[in-house]
Chain A
Amino acid sequence: MYKAKVIAGVEIGTSKVSVLLGEIVEGGSLNIIGLGQSSSKGVLKGDIVDFHEANDCAHAAILSAENQAGVKIDGVYLAVSGSDIEGFTSEASVNVTSRDRRVSQEDIDQVSSLAKGRDLPEGRAVIHHLKRPYRLDNRSVDQPLNLGGDRLEASYWTVHGNARKIGDAIHIINGFNLHVDDVVLSALAVGSVVASEEEKSSGCLVLDIGRGSTDYAVYQGGRCLIAGCVPLGGDHISNDLSIGLRMRLKQAESLKHRFGSAVIEHRNKSEKVWLNNDFEIGDRPIPLWSIEKIVELRMGEIFEVVQKKLGAFGRPERLSGGVVLCGGGAGLRNIEDCAESVFNVPARLGDNGTMATGELKESQYSVALGLLKYGLQYQNAVMVGSGRSDGFMGKLKGLFQ
């Protein structure tokens, strides 16, 4: 008899900590049984800058989720993001060893190990190896086993981060007497939920615009080829509004939410809006055009930075599935138009409709939902692959990615 396992998807973001509890029933289905949220403190641009504050916020959210569900968590899937997340392509090639020139499992294992074995700078830790299609004599193949050829090449997108920063996030979870079962890049978690299989297959970019950072993931052929994070988010816009229009950050934040638009809608420069709209001393009119101009520029800037990071993967011909936007920053009006103008492909707002209903459909829960989905597949893999090697697990994770 299979015991139900309670897993938690935890996202310690810049603006909030989200915890979703899922119960994996009979190893095959996931029931979402609890939600805990708290405002985040001690996190800046996705990085933990005050351990104790971040610790308290995360623990409050976890406790709230546990109390709501009335169960204890068995394992945690933790989302990581932040400015330190980087990635590189690691490649390796081997000559096919068998006499009949057919690729054996040993060849695949060897080339995969060589590709993954690239040294990282001191203090860095691997988070994911995102597998790309193999190349056998310069032709792209998904599964080269038993195919004929002379030279087999493997390529991975290796996502790595600062080991200390990842350790800090893990220790926050450990501090609640919980064990982190896996660490997942936020972009991957989001992508698994908001992008459809068709979009992933034809090629799409998933952007999770948070308060402090923007996570990105490019899918093609149903798998993630590149993922990462840029340290620019909603705060980037609010900061510029604050500086450019000379107001406090909180006021800028409010103004952004009330009047912000990712493309200029109001060309009339004399059209103004009140800063606080409370008719008290200090309240003043602000040109609406100015707000929209700043927001458009900064939003466009974020997209351009991402596009630059993507390099060849960001070209319109590789993103025929379009851009899927989610996260708190995607709440800006006309953000799809802004994204379309930068990436030259259609853009849409993503939600969690394929996996959740009601409140959980909102994209602010995409990361936590994606983590649960990841956890479900991981648990299934553990059940199916129990007694097998880690290689099998890796393959299953690769499928998910």
Chain B
Amino acid sequence: MATKKASKSVRKSRSWKDIDQDVKAKSMSSAAFKRMLLARMRTCAIGVGVFVALALVIKFFVMTDDFSATLTKAGRALPIRVVEVESDTLSREWVMEHLDLYRGDLNLLEIDVGALRASLLKIPQTREAHIARQLPDTLFISIEEREPIARVAAEDVERGRITLLVDRDGIVYEGIGYNRKRIQSLPFLDGIRLKRIEGGFETIEGMNSVDHLLAEASEIAPHIYQTWKVVSLAELPKLIVKSAFAKEIVFAPTGGDYRRQLSELDYIIDYHKGHSYRSVAKIDLTMKSQVPVTRSTVVR
């Protein structure tokens, strides 16, 4: 308290610091005036520079905003009017339905083509898929499908007996959009065990040989191929074909030698038909020089 009272009574003498240091331009020397002018010009230049930089930054952000807005507008201005689908058996309608492309609010720039492609590749029937935007309003979808070479009969808990297709890679899938006649022309596979895996079935081993044999048969002896009902993989690497003429035709896994075996088979069939044999029990084509034929019924 004593201090406060004392400090109130303290007087402060005038100091040189009380002298006003503001100065008017007229009291300056020419050098000082020039210096002051330069300093002010520099300050102004810095100010203008900062202002311009700020303006540019703001302009940049505004422009970026405008640009993205323009892009959005452009995207909205490109609705999908045409969907072109290029496929073998999958119909355009099925593809459109599957990819949910019937919605009216789709536009070309916003659509996620990657997701559409992934959705198509999830179908086992699809080997490869390409999706492309074709400005101004077309979405192009190209689907490369698997080629079935045989069919498999399977039991489904809900649907009962179903027919599955198998391609040359051994991929098992439910065929979509196939012609019934085409499916029926395919031989059944036998001697295999189907195993379910996530999203389908386990790949069947040995289908390369089957593909090779069936391709050769359909090419050089289509009349024989048409009679084949079942191809059995039970004794791999041997392939056993069951046909209308022979209950068992055993092919040897000799690579490119199926042509010879098919020629011998053709000869044997012709020979037996010529001698009024309607069918045989077994034809073994696995030996090169000899072809044992087991006859079951003789009709004269």
List the interface of chain A (C-beta within 8 A of B): 51, 55-56, 59-60, 63, 94, 97, 106, 109-110, 113-114, 116-120, 124-127, 158, 160-161, 163, 166-167, 170-171, 174-177, 179-180, 183
B189 vs chain A, min Cβ distance (A): 82
Which residues of B lie under 8 Å from residue A158 when comparing CB positions? 13
Q: Are A63 and B39 in contact (CB under 8 A)?
A: no
A34 vs chain B, min Cβ distance (A): 15
Please provide the chain B residues from 1 to 60 with a CB less than 8 Å away from any CB of chain A in the complex: 2-3, 6-7, 10-16, 18-23, 27-29, 31-32, 35-36, 39
Which residues of B lie under 8 Å from residue A166 when comparing CB positions? 16, 19
Which residues of A lie under 8 Å from residue B35 when comparing CB positions? 63, 176-177
Closest 10 CB pairs of A and B: A174-B23, A113-B10, A176-B32, A59-B29, A177-B36, A117-B11, A106-B3, A110-B6, A175-B28, A126-B15
User: How far is A176 from B38 in the complex, measured between Cα atoms in Å?
Assistant: 12
Which residues of B lie under 8 Å from residue A160 when comparing CB positions? 13
User: How far is A176 from B23 in the complex, measured between Cα atoms in Å?
Assistant: 9
Given contacts A55-B27, A110-B6, contact A177 B16 (CB under 8 A): no
**Residue from A51, A59, A126, A177 within 8 A of B13 (CB atoms):** A126
Q: Are B14 and A126 in contact (CB under 8 A)?
A: yes
User: How far is A167 from B20 in the complex, measured between Cα atoms in Å?
Assistant: 8
Which residues of B lie under 8 Å from residue A109 when comparing CB positions? 3, 7
Q: Are B16 and A59 in contact (CB under 8 A)?
A: no
Q: Are A124 and B7 in contact (CB under 8 A)?
A: no
User: How far is A170 from B27 in the complex, measured between Cα atoms in Å?
Assistant: 12
A96 vs chain B, min Cβ distance (A): 11
A153 vs chain B, min Cβ distance (A): 15
User: How far is A252 from B20 in the complex, measured between Cα atoms in Å?
Assistant: 41
Q: Are A125 and B19 in contact (CB under 8 A)?
A: yes
**Residue from A120, A170, A176 within 8 A of B19 (CB atoms):** A170
18 further A-B contacts with Cβ under 8 Å, apart from A55-B29, A59-B32, A177-B28, are A59-B29, A110-B7, A113-B7, A114-B10, A116-B13, A117-B11, A118-B13, A119-B11, A120-B14, A125-B15, A125-B18, A126-B13, A163-B14, A167-B19, A171-B23, A171-B27, A175-B29, A180-B21
Chain B: interface size category: 20 to 34
User: How far is A167 from B11 in the complex, measured between Cα atoms in Å?
Assistant: 22
A90 vs chain B, min Cβ distance (A): 9
Which residues of B lie under 8 Å from residue A110 when comparing CB positions? 3, 6-7, 10
Q: Are A170 and B32 in contact (CB under 8 A)?
A: no
User: How far is A174 from B33 in the complex, measured between Cα atoms in Å?
Assistant: 11
Q: Are A59 and B31 in contact (CB under 8 A)?
A: yes
Which residues of A lie under 8 Å from residue B23 when comparing CB positions? 171, 174-175, 177
User: How far is A124 from B15 in the complex, measured between Cα atoms in Å?
Assistant: 8
> Can you name the residue of chain A whose Cβ is closest to the Cβ of B9?
A114
Which residues of A lie under 8 Å from residue B39 when comparing CB positions? 177
B22 vs chain A, min Cβ distance (A): 7
Which residues of B lie under 8 Å from residue A106 when comparing CB positions? 2-3
User: How far is A201 from B60 in the complex, measured between Cα atoms in Å?
Assistant: 68
Which residues of A lie under 8 Å from residue B13 when comparing CB positions? 116-120, 126, 158, 160
Given contacts A125-B14, A163-B14, A166-B16, contact A176 B29 (CB under 8 A): yes
> Can you name the residue of chain B whose Cβ is closest to the Cβ of A161?
B16
B290 vs chain A, min Cβ distance (A): 101
User: How far is A94 from B2 in the complex, measured between Cα atoms in Å?
Assistant: 11
Which residues of A lie under 8 Å from residue B32 when comparing CB positions? 59, 175-177
User: How far is A382 from B44 in the complex, measured between Cα atoms in Å?
Assistant: 30
Q: Are A94 and B27 in contact (CB under 8 A)?
A: no
Which residues of A lie under 8 Å from residue B6 when comparing CB positions? 94, 110, 113-114
**Residue from B16, B22, B28 within 8 A of A163 (CB atoms):** B16
> Can you name the residue of chain B whose Cβ is closest to the Cβ of A55?
B29
Q: Are A183 and B16 in contact (CB under 8 A)?
A: yes
> Can you name the residue of chain B whose Cβ is closest to the Cβ of A60?
B31
Q: Are B19 and A163 in contact (CB under 8 A)?
A: yes
B129 vs chain A, min Cβ distance (A): 61
